[in-house]
A and B are shown apart, each in its own frame.
Chain A
Amino acid sequence: MSVVFYLLAAMTIAGGLAAVLLKQLVHAALAVTVAFAGLALLYLDLDAQFAGFAQILVYIGAVTILIVFAILLTRSSDLPKEGVFSGTWAVGLMIAAGVFAVLGWAVLASVRVVPQQSPAPAVTVRDIGNALVGRYALPLEIVGLLLTAATVGAVIVAMHEKERPKG
């Protein structure tokens, strides 16, 4: 157990908790950025440099900006009178606690089966690039198609509609 892991895990969990609990949506977006950054650093701690930097680029760079834009466009920054939590919040909390209990039990029950130590893998970005255009070329093409379709679809869905006559 290293100190670095404890610090990064605490940062990630604290960011996630703050994102869920903070009332102002902009504050929640900032807190979720902290959680994303903690996850990127955890990936770096796990010797997955490429995934760590991809996480920083995609999540901190793009997804958070998208969320902030959505908050601004929907004027969600003013707090609702009924409170920020749903009417059935107790049920949701119980479901989440149950899911965590089952997951934690599964992890702790399998702790003797899973490997506990292994040497750092010698994988470079060159290997990842070769695998992406070699063995994983077809999934890469499909993801490219998916991203194009998703971008076009998001623009069409969010595009301003002209006023149509009712009926």
Chain B
Amino acid sequence: MTTPLACYLLVAALLFAIGLAGALVRRNAIMVLIGIELMLNAANLNLIAFWRFEPHPEALTGMMFAIFSIAVAAAEAAVGLGLVISIYRHTNTTDLDKMNRMKG
């Protein structure tokens, strides 16, 4: 007996909400990036689940979408962490609440 599609979608929705909460609630810039990674992964789980349950999985549409999404997420992580390190060099902090130089 297989698990219905809705269960996977609910798990992905919960993981997305957890990632969003992490990105919005935490102070540290690295934690915000971790939250964004969790959100991207939740979207990937949705893509794979829809691919598994679609009528023509041999067309590989959802699978390809997920694989390209993983590659783009890796690039995003590299650039994002590079930015965090660069900001740390300039301001000596990774606390996002203290990065208010452009506040009017």
Contacts and interface: CB of A to CB of B under 8 A. Distances in A.
A66 B78 contact: yes
A107 B81 contact: no
A63 to B, nearest CB: 5
Contact of A160 (B8, B55, B76, B89): B89
Given A154-B82, A158-B85, A5 B22 contact: no
Given A95-B20, A123-B60, A153 B82 contact: yes
Nearest to B57: A121
A118 to B, nearest CB: 5
A133 interface: no
A76 B24 contact: no
Contacts, number: 257
Contacts of A110: 6
Nearest to A104: B13
A32 B37 contact: yes
Interface residues of A, number: 86
Contacts of B66: 48, 51
Contacts of A157: 79, 82-83, 85-86
A92 B81 CA distance: 22
Interface in A145-167: 146-147, 150-151, 153-155, 157-158, 160-161
A123 B60 CA distance: 8
Interface in B47-103: 48-49, 51-55, 57-58, 60, 63-64, 66-68, 70-79, 81-86, 88-89, 94-97
Q: Closest 10 A-B residue pairs measured CB to CB?
A: A92-B24, A121-B57, A100-B17, A150-B75, A96-B21, A154-B82, A20-B22, A103-B13, A158-B82, A70-B81
Interface of B: 1-11, 13-28, 30-31, 33-35, 37-38, 41, 44-45, 48-49, 51-55, 57-58, 60, 63-64, 66-68, 70-79, 81-86, 88-89, 94-97
